[in-house]
Structure 1
């Protein structure tokens, strides 16, 4: 079994490599950093995604290729097409914007698992796990974030995700439909399960809309949480800026907010009063945890042929169980979540 990881020395790539014990084929544009990320037994390969020949050579012989490189909007389906043409399964920690029918036609008897990260990915699977066994769930409130750092690629993807194609800022799901302008950002508010006061930014992603329809929820409020004022200010002011500049400002603001403090990232889901909390040092660890689950599922033939979102083909309860067993992830199940007072 040969698993190839593109973008192996980035924040997600390194966290994923730690979770895949078998010898891996590791690929990156910087040869020295790729070798540094390799463990004994791993194969380090210099590969530039823009070089079709090198990328094809990297994918040749792989059973599964995992793309951890970014920004996703810039890479598009370049790695996906190379992997599937080489006869490998494909896993993408992002890829929400990719053309599913096009990749399905290319996949043949192989599987492409897209959106296998923290968000999109866990952001749909964990509410599904919470809803299992619930009797007609009606209302979900999600608070996702914390004191997290942004890599440049992550900042670019975050800015791109709020451009209206993948999410609607300030919207909520009410009365079984999206309502624009339903909510407003807020600074220095107290939230249950978050330390101190934080800033919040509401939005409704396409993934969340699909989740609402799948679970037949009447209401969803989804809040991005930022433990620091600068990050929210940078995000609120991103609308009129060129994406690269907006991403640079977001990366800098998050770094300044985190100076001298211990980073953390958590997902808090309240479904009709039942609360699930998943917490780690940063969002990249959570992305890698789901990517590892998707990689193992694809390698074992547990994903049907075609192109799918991770939230549609991975078992929500199994994902939650894996997180409970992950040494760098803390999970508080509904019966364990402490009751706290807060606003919003």
Structure 2
């Protein structure tokens, strides 16, 4: 059995437009929807569009009824995610959110068939080490993931990112050791050279639900995730926003974060105006047939939204063709996606972007011991 009609809320948005085009090219019937009309896809015979206000229950229910799968690309997700998720699950349809803002409760409390972790972070950031771990190793001793740069996300997505980092499913200054979340102290007054950034960076560790899931699936003895910042001023700004996100209810916090964001943009002409360049870097250290090895991977993007939308489209394709892969509760896109997509990613990159995955000498790994206090 396959599912043919895919609804995309926010089909003309930063990520939605790329996911929509991908699914249309793959031949699926796509029903696009959002408040404002879009004409990008009018030439596709397998595309139709409807204007919708998701706050209108009748309109939302009517839209969901026509779909087998509903993708929520509306931003900010903290305002609309739960509303859409509940409507989709009530109709017993599959709900897909490229972020994880729709699932603020614990995993065991999620009802319906829901899929998260199918965007950039979370999503691609878990998919790459997940597939490499299964292909290249028998045993993983250490997994380290780094992300940084400027991804050019929308203000709504920026607010979602901060609120997501401030919720109870994220553990700051932590890492995973043998399945347990442990405190991790970093010297944030020092900068470090890395193989993935032209600037020295400051590291800030964190563990979220997706990191925990990845560790369980690959069985890594040690699991680290670091955000890399180019300077202390940027790190301080993000930390202040995280405090706002944790201090108030989400709606109030969102308004405060948005206000502080625009204030920062007005005060600093360069903030948010940088050339888009986002990097994702990982190292896996473990064993294969008794041989110790280290695999490093680097993904550099100038258009995060494009690859995020394509990745989302690939996850949805896999679900549409094999809906039995989605079970009741919370599912993770990086587990569902066909491993062969790893080889396709390079074909979806543009000039100046690249992905490199190769074995390196153990001695050349990043010595995280240098910045862990």
2:48 is aligned with 1:27: no
Q: Which residue of 2 aligns with 1:332?
A: 356
- How far did residue 90 of structure 1 move? 2.6
SS in 1 for 2:99: coil
In our comparison, the structure showing a higher alpha carbon Rg is: 2
Q: Is the 8 A contact 1:147 1:257 kept in 2?
A: no
Question: What is the CA deviation profile of residues 282-328 of structure 1, one whole-angstrom value per residue up to 9, with x for unaligned ones?
Answer: 43334323211121012112524423422464146234233233244
Shift of 1:134: 0.5
Alpha-carbon contact 1:175-1:218 (below 8 Å) kept: yes
- Relative to 1, partners in 2 of residues 1:316 and 1:38: Cα closer, same or farther, differing over 3 Å? closer
Assess if the C-alpha contact under 8 Å between 2:126 and 2:334 holds in 1: no
Residue number in structure 1 paired with 2:309: 288
1:129 is aligned to 131
3-state SS of paired residue (2:75): coil
Unaligned 5+ runs, structure 1: none
Cα distance change of structure 1 residues 2 and 278 upon mapping to structure 2, 3 Å threshold: same
Q: Distance in 1 between matches of 2:366 and 2:115?
A: 37
CA RMSD across the alignment: 3.1
Q: Are residue 66 (structure 1) and residue 71 (structure 2) matched?
A: yes
Q: Please state whether the residue corresponding to 2:49 is helix, strand or coil.
A: strand
Q: Is 1:183 matched with 2:186? A: yes
CA contact (8 A) 1:170 1:185 kept: no
Q: CA deviation at 1:36?
A: 4.1
* Number of residue pairs aligned between Structure 1 and Structure 2: 334
Give a deviation string over 1:159-205, Cα, whole Å, max 9, x none: 22222512111212235422224334456532212222334322111
TM-score, with normalisation over the residues of structure 1? 0.84
Of residues 309-318 and 111-120 in structure 1, the stretch that sits farther from structure 2 once superposed is 309-318
The 4+ residue runs of structure 1 with deviation greater than 6 A are 339-343
- Where does residue 97 of structure 1 map in the other structure? 104
Q: 1:44 aligns with which of 49, 58, 65?
A: 49
Alignment TM-score, normalising by the size of structure 2: 0.78
CA distance in 1, matches of 2:149, 2:17: 21
Equivalent residues of 2:72, 2:81 under 8 A apart:
no
Match of 1:112 among 114, 121, 125: 114
Which SS does the other structure have where 2:11 is aligned? coil
Mapped to 1, the partners of 2:145 and 2:283 lie a distance apart of 6
Does the C-alpha gap of structure 1 residues 255 and 114 become closer, same or farther in structure 2, counting only changes over 3 Å? farther
In the TM superposition, what is the alpha-carbon distance from 1:53 to its structure 2 partner?
A: 0.7
Structure 1 residue aligned with 2:10: 7
The answer to whether the 8 Å contact 1:59/1:82 transfers is: yes
Structure 2 stretches of 5 or more lacking a match? 286-293, 369-373
2: distance between equivalents of 1:51 and 1:276? 45
Aligned to 1:256: 270
